[in-house]
Every structure is written in C-alpha cells, then in structure tokens.
Amino acid sequence: MADTTITPQQAREAMEVLLEQERMLRYELFDAQRALELGRIAAELAPEYDETYTVTITRESDDAIWFQWLADDKGARNLMFATGKRNAARTAGHASPWAQLTAIAEGKPLDDVWAKVPDEVASLGAFPIRVGDEWVATLAVSGLHNGLDHEVVLRALEKALGVTVPRWSVSVA
C-alpha cells in the first residue's frame, strides 16, 4: 500500500509536486466529450504496461460515471478500489495519495490512513479534474502497482491538455 521508506521531508516535497501537478492539469471546459477523450487516452496506454487496469471518470455534481473501462481480466474489485481512491481524494480535497503523504510528512502512523479501506483508499490513482478552481470530475485508475496508476493518470491528462508536469524525485507508491 504505502511506501513508508520515504522520509517526512520527501513526503512534503512530493506534496509540493502533487500540488503543482494539480495546478497545471486543469481544463478550461470539461464535458462528456472531453471525458470520453480522456478516458480513451488512458485506456489506450494499457499496452505499454505489464499489468492491466481500470479507468473511471466520475462527474462530481451527481456521482454519475462519465466513462468506465476495464481490461478483460479486471472486474468489480478494481472498480471498488477506483471508487475508494476517488473517495479518498474527495475527503482530502486533492489527489488520492494526499492523506498518505500528509501522514508521512507529519511523522504519523499510517494506520488511520488505511483504516477506511476499501471505502477510502489513499493510494495513487485518483486525480481531480478541475475547470478553474472547480472540481468537476475525478479520473481514477486501479490495477497497477508501484505508483503506475498515477503515472497513467498523469500521462493521459498531459496528452489531453498538451502539457508536461513535474514528477516525484522519490518512489511514492
């Protein structure tokens, strides 16, 4: 679940990078067509990974699923974890690993962070889709390991938005 080998300072640095990713990966308009485009991009990255995953995009105004894709070997369990990651992101007000990084940065045990699994999964893979400052949807990827869910999210958003964002200098998984 969590890579607790990172130091509190490294966790704080990772949080700064995450804030910059969230700042840079914003839309001017996000609607059903853009959700389809973003979801398609995320799904089309699958052959580049050794493991498979699921992709969901949820509209935040009414919890409606705008986009959902599952690799042939994925199912309800991965969708449950994607939903848990989205819930963790919504609780934190940031991408899903925020609570995990905060606990590490503050030198607190991760027991509380993981106590709500599967309802809240504070690991990598859910990212807010914002129009300006408004959180309009959440992109969630589940099924990969070693931080790769977040990498799929970043790569898909970068391609859709035509930007490149900074990455962590340490392993956040």
Q: How far is CA 116 from the centre of its chain?
A: 17
Is the pLDDT reported for residue 171 higher than 90?
Answer: no
Q: Is residue 173 part of a domain?
A: no
Q: How confident is the model at residue 20 (pLDDT cuts 50, 70, 90)?
A: very high
Rounded to two decimals, what is the model's pTM?
A: 0.95
Closest by CA to 119, choosing from 76, 77, 80, 70, is: 80
Per residue in 46-84, pLDDT (tens digit) is 999 999 999 999 999 999 999 999 999 999 999 999 999
Q: Is residue 107 part of a domain?
A: yes
How does 25-57 read in b/e, with b if 16+ C-beta sit within 10 Å? Answer: bbbeebeeebbeebbebbbebbeebeeebbbbb
Q: How far is CA 168 from the centre of its chain?
A: 14
Is the pLDDT reported for residue 165 higher than 70?
Answer: yes
How many domains is the chain built from? 1
Supply the mean pLDDT for the chain. Answer: 95
The domain of 74 spans 8-161
Q: How confident is the model at residue 169 (pLDDT cuts 50, 70, 90)?
A: confident
Residue 85 belongs to domain with CATH number = 3.30.450.150
Bridge partner list, 127:
139
Q: Is residue 171 part of a domain?
A: no
Q: Is residue 116 part of a domain?
A: yes
Mean of pLDDT values over 116-120:
95
